[in-house]
Amino acid sequence: MGESDGSQAPAGGRLNSPRVLAPGEAAVNTRRDIDALASKGEPEPVTRVIGTGGQRCDRNGFTRPKLLGFLRGALYPSSPTAIAFVLAFMLVATTAVAQGRPPSTSDTRADWCRRNAGGAPTAGEVILRRDWGEHRAIVTNQDTRWAVAKLRGVDGRVAVAAFVAPRWTTTIADIPAGQYRIEFAFGDLWSRGCNTFVGDASAHRFPDYDAFTTEFDADGGRVVQNWRYTITPVRNGNVRPRSMSMAEFDAN
């Protein structure tokens, strides 16, 4: 395991430890207050971690649309191109049935995404950024699979997305001010051509939006807000994530 960004205190600040829950207390959404440090320093990152009793969403891959609805539209092809497409689909379906699995138009997309997977991900690599700022999110992934973490705003748009390597902590820097909710997905193969995980994957999101704000103290020093997230279950976690579909996660 390599060096972990989140194990070191950020400049001018320090990291919080997760709040220890009292016996019988549910691991639900709680938040730590932020204490401003020196006038030119940073506040403590707020810690949000998943409890071991938190729900994991069901593992799911590409959605398999109903074959009947597809065939209804294909029964009346109006061009040679449409006829060729129907014949190609019939060939794929015949092969799929011979292999003992149901035919699906998703097979074509999955195969294309695998062929266009591109280069392997890099720990901490930012794969989407819409704007720049001065805030940070420290994301820990204790799973054995790669993860992609996204910060989605209240308008539904993703401000920034980055890879988080297995058993690694990544700091996503230069986040613009705003209200964001963290979303994350785990998978075995990320396709750069399709901007999604191919095959078996799962996606989750935290229930609340977190404020990344910049304030000024009495001396005019800038005080920025940082957040720290653990996106895999840990003992005494203080948030319970909600499952989401990969289609919801993939929307940017």
Which of 2-16, 34-48, 116-130 holds the top average pLDDT?
116-130
Taking the C-alpha atoms of residue 216 and residue 218, their distance in angstroms, rounded to an integer, is: 7
Same domain, 202 and 91: no
The answer to the question of residue 31 being in a domain is: yes
**Quick one: 28 and 139 in the same domain?**
yes
Q: Is residue 156 part of a domain?
A: yes
| Residue ending a domain, choose from 45, 75, 103 | 103
Structure tokens at 121: 């991900």
* Residue 108 placed within a domain: no
Asked if 21 and 144 sit in the same domain, the reply is: yes
| Any domain includes 110 | no
Same domain, residue pair 166 and 245: yes
Whether residue 10 is found in the same domain as residue 93:
no
Does one domain contain both 236 and 162? Answer: yes
Whether residues 129 and 245 share a domain: the answer is: yes
The tally of domains found in the chain comes to 2
Closest alpha carbon to 47 in 22, 11, 20, 23 = 20
φ/ψ of 90, rounded to 5, equals -60, -35
Verify that 98 and 194 share a domain, yes or no: no
Same domain for 138 and 19, yes or no, is yes
Q: Cβ(194)–Cβ(113) under 8 Å? A: yes
Whether this model's pTM surpasses 0.75: no
Cβ proximity of 170 and 3 under 8 Å: no
Report, as an integer, the average pLDDT of 234-252: 94
More confident residue, 41 or 244: 244
Domain assignment of residue 38, given as a range: 5-60+120-250
Average pLDDT value over all residues in the chain:
74
Residue appearing with tokens 């997760």: 18
Phi, psi of 246 (to 5 degrees): -65, -30
Over residues 100-125, the pLDDT tens digits come to 444 455 568 889 999 999 999 999 99
* 10 and 49 within one domain: yes
Say whether both 93 and 162 belong to one domain. no
Asked whether residue 155 falls in the same domain as residue 232, the answer is yes
